[in-house]
Amino acid sequence: MKNWKEKGMQGVFLLAACASILAVALICIFLFANGIPAMKEIGFLDFLTGQTWRPGNNIYGILPFILGSIYVTAGAIIIGVPIGIFTSVFMAHYCPKKIYPVLKSATELLAGIPSVVYGFFGLVVIVPLVRDYINTHGIRGNGGNSMLAASIILGIMILPTIIGVTESNMRSVPEQYYEGSLALGATKERTIFRIVIPAAKSGVIAGVVLGIGRAIGETMAVIMVAGNQPQMPQGIFRGLRTMTTNIVMEMGYAADLHREALIATAVVLFVFILIINLCVSLLNRRNDND
């Protein structure tokens, strides 16, 4: 009787563990079933490398949005990663104990602000700054709604992710490393940047990759500041459209092939995320073997 119960519950646990597999399978099936036929109808190459998106005339090329997503994410990384890593160094090694709890919960707060709020903040604060810069320097722009504005907002939005992960990984580096280096006469800064961060590198990379995932998937904030022009990205002061904003912008009224093309856009986004995840697990495996 008891044995039966043990075995039964083990089965239940096993089934529960399958839930995530089932969920991924369902997501794959439903997205791919709706997206792949459309890609076929449009032509895989035409869909992925087409530079024109004009649903009214049944022309669906999402290269501008793929590039848009990549550029905006790259911009967010350039802005967010250095600030994030330096801030986490501050949090882990420089921050006075007294104000640490306040600052720590402050970074968590940054993570809890809804993305719509970030969007309006960007629209009211960042976009005018970019616009002034464009106007005073005579650069051609779209009134400040631009790749730069979107990158800045995303750079801010990924800060808590990067700070959180990097800081906890830096803290998990054994104290002896830190103290040993200091004892050998290295300065505090040199110790941190030459000993502690390299020791925590896999964690730092994981944080950065999580940040990339967050940036590439963000929608509601980007849609308000990026300009959303359905054309090839034309520079950091010009507007562009990302894959996510393309979906939200047009899903409401899309029908037939147009709608499927949008779901196919989500499939491409999904594949991007899969590739990023694969890179992370490969990196982790390599680090485990080191």
Partner 1 sequence: MKFKKIAAVMAAAVMVMSFAAGCGSSDEGNSAGGANISVISREEGSGTRGAFVELFGVEEEVDGEKVDQTTTDATVTNNTSVMLTTVSGDENAIGYVSLGSLNDDVKAVKIDGAEATADNIKNGSYKVSRPFNIVTKDGVSEEAQDFINFILSKQGQEVVAEEGYIPLDTTTEYAASGVSGKVAVSGSSSVSPVMEKLAEAYQALNPDADIQIQTSDSTTGVTDAINGTSDIGMASRELKDSETSQGAVGTVIATDGIAVIVNNANSVDDLTVDQVKGIFTGKTLTWDEVTK
Partner 2 sequence: MTKGRKIESIILKILVYAAAVITFVVLLFLLAYILINGLPHIKPELFALEYTTENASLMPALINTVIMTLLSLIIAVPFGIFSAIFLVEYAKKGNRFIGLIRLTTETLSGIPSIVYGLFGMLFFVTALGWGYSILAGAFTMSIMILPLIMRTTEEALKSVPDTYREGSFGLGAGKLRTIFRIVLPSAIPGIMAGVILAIGRIMGETAALMYTSGTVPDMAKTPMDAGRTLALHMYNLSSEGLYMDQAYATAVILLILVVGMNTLSAFVARKLTKGK
Smallest distance, partner 2 to C-beta of residue 138, A: 28
Q: How far is the CB of 171 from partner 2 (least distance, A)?
A: 14
Q: Is 100 within 8 Å of 173 (Cβ atoms)?
A: no
Nearest CB to partner 1, comparing residues 21 and 255: 255
Q: C-beta of 69: minimal distance to partner 2 in Å? A: 10
Q: State the binding partner of 130 from partner 2, partner 1, none, CB within 5 to 8 A by kind.
A: none
Query: What are the residues facing 60 on neighbouring strands?
Result: 53
Out of 165, 223, 247, 280, which residue is the one contacting partner 1 (CB under 8 A)?
A: 223
- Give the list of residues 6+ apart from residue 12 with CB closer than 8 angstroms, or none: none
Select from partner 2, partner 1, none the partner in contact with residue 229, using the beta carbon and a kind-dependent cut-off of 5 to 8 Å: partner 1
Task: Single out the segment in contact with partner 2 by CB under 8 A; choices: 38-46, 60-68, 77-85, 142-150.
Answer: 77-85
Residues between 44 and 63 that touch partner 1 (CB under 8 A): 55-57
199 interacts with, out of partner 2, partner 1, none, CB within 5 to 8 A per kind: none
**Positions 165 through 224 that interact with partner 2 (CB under 8 A):** 185, 187-190, 192-193, 210, 213, 216-220
**Which of 101, 174, 180, 198 is the binder for partner 2 (CB under 8 A)?**
101
Residue ranges in 125-164 that form contacts with partner 2 under rule CB under 8 A: 125, 156, 159, 163
Residue ranges binding partner 1 (CB under 8 A): 55-57, 70-71, 74-75, 77-78, 120, 123-124, 127-128, 131, 135, 138-145, 147, 198, 201, 204-205, 223-224, 227-239, 241, 248-250, 252-255
